[in-house]
Amino acid sequence: MSPSPRHRHAVDGGYPRGEETRARIVAAALNLFGEHGFDGASTRDIAERAGVNAPAIGYYFDNKEGVYLACVEHIVSRVWEQLAGPVEAAEAALASQADDNTLIEALCAIQARVAEFMLTSSESSHWRPFMAREQAGLGPTSGYEMIEKRISRRMTAVNAGIVGRLLGRPADDEETLIRTLTLNGPLLVFHTHCRKSLGVLGWDAIDTERLAKLMRIVKQHTVILLQSMTEMRGAPLPRESKPQAVKAVRTRRRQSSAGAARVLGEG
């Protein structure tokens, strides 16, 4: 069984200022795991970066995987503090059988909060190298499992729930899940290719004004995609061999364009 990150407090004769020491070790580990990966960062290096004796790692975290899990726990806790509000609001909208526009707004609200924290927070930018390796599967599976259990499953469930409702398909349907995963493509470009994206735009950073401009465009794309899903509700995917189906979908698209315009206008 993978070790769980422990949280030991200072005791007589033990390590002083336990909370502070533990936090310093986690901060140092986040940097070193991001720079060198899980295999490349040693507990001795982490201890040296944190300014503590090497045995302190075992005292607070048992071993290197314990330190890694503490890093993941720190990130997960901070991320959920930011996302809990819009995610819970979207879950409530789904449960209340809200109309299409309300569901679209709820998903866009999640997307906006993710973007704000991911792209403008100095804290999250500090985690980027660590998370890039984690998301690439280069860390212990225990870290991935913690992220899945604490954040990813719930996020996927609510987003796929909204997409499925708009499509008229189950939330766990393969098409629903593919469409759900592709919605965040525009934001991922700015997160995983931050330097290149900023260079193309001639930006040195994403400030409040630039974030507003970016999210206005991202929201337009998202609303158009989600609105188009409502046109497919209850109908098979159009194929070139079925011109009547294509014509029917195009007709529904024209009829629903006013609905998309209303959502964008409200944003």
Q: Confidence class of residue 256 from pLDDT cuts 50, 70 and 90? A: low
**Would residue 146 count as lying in a domain?**
yes
Asked whether 180 and 192 are in contact (CB, 8 A), the reply is no
Angle 219-221-223 (CA atoms, 0-180°, nearest 5)?
Answer: 65
Asked whether 71 and 28 are in contact (CB, 8 A), the reply is no
More confidently predicted of 191 and 45: 45
Check whether 175 has a pLDDT greater than 70. Answer: yes
Residue 110 neighbours by CB under 8 Å, 6+ apart: 83, 86, 87, 90, 155, 158, 159
Mean pLDDT value across residues 181-210: 90
**Would residue 222 count as lying in a domain?**
yes
Check whether 158 has a pLDDT greater than 50. Answer: yes
Check whether 122 has a pLDDT greater than 90. Answer: no
Structure tokens at 61: 């975290």
Structure tokens at 111: 């997307």
Check whether 255 has a pLDDT greater than 90. Answer: no
234/177 Cα distance (integer angstroms): 17
**Would residue 109 count as lying in a domain?**
yes
pLDDT in tens, 25-36: 999 999 999 999
Report pLDDT for 236.
64
Check whether 238 has a pLDDT greater than 70. Answer: no
**Would residue 179 count as lying in a domain?**
yes
User: For residue 115, what are the domain limits?
Assistant: 82-235
Report pLDDT for 72.
97
More confidently predicted of 15 and 150: 150
Model's pTM, two decimal places? 0.79
**Would residue 154 count as lying in a domain?**
yes
The pairs formed by 205-213 with CB atoms below 8 angstroms and a separation of 24 or more are 206/119, 206/120, 207/120, 208/120, 211/115, 211/116, 211/119, 211/120
**Would residue 22 count as lying in a domain?**
no
How many domains does the chain fold into?
A: 1
Structure tokens at 218: 């991202």
34/68 Cα distance (integer angstroms): 11
**Would residue 36 count as lying in a domain?**
no
Check whether 11 has a pLDDT greater than 60. Answer: no
CATH number at residue 159: 1.10.357.10
**Would residue 35 count as lying in a domain?**
no
Structure tokens at 162: 């909204």
Nearest to 180, CA basis, from 194, 189, 190, 169? 169
Token pair 């901060």: residue: 27
Check whether 99 has a pLDDT greater than 80. Answer: yes
